[in-house]
């Protein structure tokens, strides 16, 4: 199977190569994984405004991935920006949202889970995403680690210490028995096992989990329901032939 990891904004080529290397090391034998980034968009996503800014370019990546024959695409942001729209414009390719996927997996692993997010600015939207994913009753808390996205990989040990500190608050104060890393850059630090060792609870890595769920669903011949995510009528009818034609300017 072929899976595309779609970054909803520009990214340094070296970091893209590092991330696809991790994805390929995690993938099952026979799974091909590629990575692509949008040519424009926010440098990082730390607010709903930046999420919305990222959606148009990301949707083009998703639409093109289906045309290129990919079996699945993973949105490269744990906030799942544009997930519903991505599913509307695809009918032969699965689209996976890491945020939704990680929360639903966490809900299977314990009675209460907490999300470790980047900044306080993403706490409210994390609760909203949990509600939309149908798992809000199991969400114990959302705790910010207070490390900007673009600084997470600058000092891995310092970032790990702050993530563990936030996780300890979630476990000891909020009684979470599972933790979710609420950012793909956190996931690509590949620190879940170290957090588990420090805190004694399962830690869901959205980068790894999204890939594994994509592999499982493609392997099970399943994809999102087109009754739930109907194709835009203009695309369905053939009145337009590209996403660009859905958008007009004066």
Task: Please name the residues in contact with 29: beta carbons below 8 A apart, sequence gap of 6 or more.
Answer: none
Please answer whether residues 98 and 211 qualify as being in contact, where contact means their C-beta atoms are separated by less than 8 angstroms. no
Cα–Cα distance measured from residue 35 to residue 210, given in angstroms and rounded to the nearest whole number: 14
Q: Are residues 45 and 55 in the same domain?
A: yes
DSSP 8-state assignment for residue 70: -
pLDDT of 30 > 80? The answer is yes
123 and 80 both lie in a single domain: no
pLDDT classification of 246: cutoffs 50, 70, 90: confident
Same domain, 214 and 90: yes
Q: Assess whether 68 and 107 both reside in one domain.
A: no
> Domain holding 135: CATH number?
3.40.50.12500
Own/partner contacts of 187-193, CB < 8 Å, gap of 24 or more, are 187/78, 187/98, 188/18, 188/19, 188/22, 188/153, 189/152, 189/153, 189/156, 189/159, 189/160, 190/22, 191/156, 191/159, 191/160, 191/163
Q: How far apart are CA 106 and CA 52, in angstroms?
A: 26
CA–CA dist 125, 127 (Å, integer) = 5
pLDDT (mean) for 58-72: 97
Tell me: do 156 and 84 sit in the same domain.
Answer: no
Query: What does the mean pLDDT of the chain come to?
Result: 97
What share of the chain in percent tops pLDDT 70?
A: 100
Domain count, the chain: 2
| Packing angle of the helix pair 206-219, 98-109 (nearest 10 deg) | 90
Considering the domain architecture, whether residues 160 and 234 belong to the same structural domain is answered as: no
29 plus 151 within the same structural domain: no
d(CA 134, CA 138): 9
Q: State pLDDT tens for residues 132-163.
A: 999 999 999 999 999 999 999 999 999 999 99
Compute the residue count for the chain. Answer: 250
Please list the residues that pair with 32 across neighbouring strands: 2
Q: Are residues 115 and 176 in the same domain?
A: yes
Q: How far is C-alpha 217 from the chain's CA centre?
A: 16
pLDDT digits (tens, 9 = 90+) for 100-113: 999 999 999 999 99
- Do 110 and 93 share a structural domain? no
3-state secondary structure of 2: strand
CA 198-211-16 angle, 5° bins:
85
pLDDT at 239: 87
Q: Residue 107 is part of which domain span? A: 99-208
Q: Say how far apart CA 200 and CA 203 lie, in whole Å.
A: 9
| Phi, then psi, of 247 in degrees rounded to 5 | -115, 130
The DSSP secondary-structure symbol of 29 reads T
Q: For residue 247, what pLDDT band results from cuts at 50, 70 and 90?
A: confident
Kindly indicate the confidence band of residue 185, based on its pLDDT and cuts at 50, 70 and 90: very high
User: Are 51 and 118 a contacting pair, CB within 8 Å?
Assistant: no
pTM of the model: 0.95
Q: Judge if 93 and 172 occupy the same domain.
A: no
pLDDT value of residue 146: 98
6/86 same-domain check: yes
pLDDT band at residue 173 using 50, 70 and 90 as cut-offs: very high
CA distances from residue 55 to 13, 45, 58, 64 in whole angstroms, order as listed:
21, 11, 5, 14
Q: What pLDDT is attached to residue 244?
A: 83
Closest CA to 113 of 145, 139, 142: 139
204 and 125 belong to one structural domain: yes
């Amino acid at each position: 199977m072929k899976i595309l990891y779609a970054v909803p904004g520009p990214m340094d080529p070296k970091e893209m190569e590092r991330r696809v290397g991790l994805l390929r090391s995690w993938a099952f034998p026979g799974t091909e994984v590629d990575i692509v980034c949008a040519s424009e968009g926010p440098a990082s996503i730390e607010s709903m405004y930046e999420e919305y800014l990222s959606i148009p370019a990301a949707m083009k990546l998703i639409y093109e991935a289906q045309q290129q024959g990919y079996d699945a695409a993973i949105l490269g942001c744990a906030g799942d920006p544009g997930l519903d729209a991505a599913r509307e414009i695809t009918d032969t390719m699965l689209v996976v949202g890491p945020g939704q996927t990680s929360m639903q997996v966490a809900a299977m692993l314990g009675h209460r889970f907490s999300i470790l997010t980047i900044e306080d600015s993403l706490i409210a939207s994390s609760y909203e995403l949990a509600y939309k994913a149908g798992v809000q009753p199991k969400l114990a808390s959302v705790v910010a680690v207070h490390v900007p996205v673009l600084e997470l990989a600058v000092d891995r040990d310092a970032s790990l210490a702050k993530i563990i500190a936030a996780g300890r608050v979630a476990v000891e104060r909020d009684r979470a028995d599972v933790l979710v890393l609420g950012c793909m850059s956190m996931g690509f630090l590949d620190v879940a096992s170290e957090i588990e060792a420090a805190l004694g609870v399962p830690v869901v890595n959205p980068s790894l989990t999204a890939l594994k769920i994509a592999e499982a669903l493609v392997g099970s011949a399943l994809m999102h329901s087109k009754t739930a995510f109907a194709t835009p009528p203009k695309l369905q009818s053939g009145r337009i032939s590209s996403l660009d034609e859905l958008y007009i300017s004066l």
